[in-house]
Amino acid sequence: MATSLIIALVIILIMIFTGVAMPFAFLAGCMGYAITSGASTGSWIQTSFKAINSYSIIAMPMFMIAGTMIERSGIAGTLIKAAQKLVGKFKGGMAMTIPIVACFFGALSGSGTATCTTLSSMMAPDLEKQGYERGYLAALIAACAPLGYMIPPNVNAIIFNSVASDSSVAELFMATIIPGLIWAAAYIIIIRFGYSKYYHPEKAVVTKEELLSEQESSEEAAKKTKKSFWTNLIAAIGMPVIVMGGIYGGIFTSTEAGAIGCLYALVIGAFLFRKFTLKSAFHEFCNTGISIGSLMILFPMTYIFSRILVMEQVPSMLTNLILSVSTNKYVILLMIDIILFIAGFFVDCSVLQLVFVPLLLPLCKTIGVSATQLAVIMFVCIGVGTITPPMAMNIFLTAKILKLDTKSVIAPIWPFVFLIGIPMILLVTYVPAFSTFLPNLLLH
């Protein structure tokens, strides 16, 4: 059986690294295990059904649709203007808008990839015109993308909850707020002291003052513009306020909150920002359907593989193996950090949760680490892994969008990894209060 499991793992890894889609890679690995071990596949249908028969999973497409509509509706542009007004006049202030907008947008979309894509297309061109190096902007946007994992509501919390039955979506949403804000604040500090190396105002096409200036020729038009901006900003921040307020006020569940958020984004996009028609809204629904469809195919395949791991008693073997190395809780947590950090180089957080949560949760319970703290550790470790060269998905994404060589993005990103990312991992790992304080205060 052990040989069959190794064969399955090898098949999965080879297929992933050769570019085969994740669902087919996991299915091939499971089939390889069944063929070489002679195990029955009779329970696979039941396992697949169980994987997607979850009430909390219904929230995923709703939040994904809301995030897409927010990106298209013009809300993102309003958030960028708000961030520029907030810190734009400080030294390095225009670069500081990137982590601030990442927090705002993370609260609206809940997706690191969406945050990365939106900031690359909407912010980088304007900042480059002011004299910032494009490679630095790409590195900064890539570094800020994991904030989409941290600022609730986020899709990864819903996925974690679907795997770890003793967790709560509301608790997971609350647990990531303090670490996410600390992470963003640390980025702002490091930008303030390091931006000058990559900022060349003499090459600017447009000055910071010109970009910040929104004054119109007539006083009446200026008042109208100002009034419109504040109206749009209130509408933009209204979604997380309504969603999170409704969840923690006991008005609706997290799944119902997804539907409310989707409806809210559709209404303000269509009637306030006037960026949606019935045709364009239908198009966004179709695109989100394609995205969620790929996850719905992936879930059953990874669940089958996770069931195989459980049947082979891999979680208990992993627990015994790590405990044989050390019984010290802090050493074990460090090993978990390293495993998740390295895994984040190669695979997205949503996939890794489906595989690693069943493996690591029994070990964490053994050493007294709650499922909520494990979730935050996982989000941060994998998030930092996605920005760490040489295999950093966010770097590849920003480089592709901004038409850059990957090498030009790697040098500026190291300070964000070593001075902020690694300390953040250690912070959420060894100071659990950062993750558990708000849930304990407000939910228990």
Q: Establish if 398 belongs to a structural domain.
A: yes
Residue 55 Rama label (left phi>0; alpha psi -120 to 50; beta):
alpha
User: What would the two tokens of residue 306 be?
Assistant: 């996770």
Tally the domains of the chain: 2
86 with 193, same domain: the answer is yes
Residue scoring higher pLDDT (108 or 239) = 239
273 with 348, same domain: the answer is yes
55 with 37, same domain: the answer is no
255 with 325, same domain: the answer is yes
303 with 412, same domain: the answer is yes
Write down the mean pLDDT value for the chain. Answer: 81
Mean pLDDT of 100-109: 74
Which residue segment(s) compose the domain that 323 sits in?
42-201+217-443
119 with 19, same domain: the answer is no
Q: Establish if 236 belongs to a structural domain.
A: yes
Q: Establish if 208 belongs to a structural domain.
A: no
What local confidence, expressed as pLDDT, does residue 222 receive?
A: 46
Residue scoring higher pLDDT (274 or 172) = 172
Mean pLDDT of 26-37: 90
Outline where 250-370 has alpha helix (H).
Answer: 254-267, 278-311, 314-325, 329-343, 349-366
Q: Establish if 228 belongs to a structural domain.
A: yes
255 with 324, same domain: the answer is yes
122 with 178, same domain: the answer is yes
Q: Establish if 209 belongs to a structural domain.
A: no
178 with 53, same domain: the answer is yes
Neighbouring C-alpha atoms within 13 Å toward the C-beta of 388: 21
176 with 241, same domain: the answer is yes
115 with 258, same domain: the answer is yes
Please count the other Cβ atoms lying within 10 Å of the Cβ belonging to residue 256.
Answer: 16
Question: 220 falls in which pLDDT band (50, 70, 90)?
Answer: very low
Question: 375 falls in which pLDDT band (50, 70, 90)?
Answer: very high
9 with 58, same domain: the answer is no
Out of 62-71, 124-133, 135-144, 351-360, pick the least confident.
62-71
Q: Establish if 359 belongs to a structural domain.
A: yes
Closest listed residue to residue 232, CA positions, set 278, 196, 274 = 274
Q: Establish if 206 belongs to a structural domain.
A: no
Q: Establish if 212 belongs to a structural domain.
A: no
User: What would the two tokens of residue 98 be?
Assistant: 């990137």
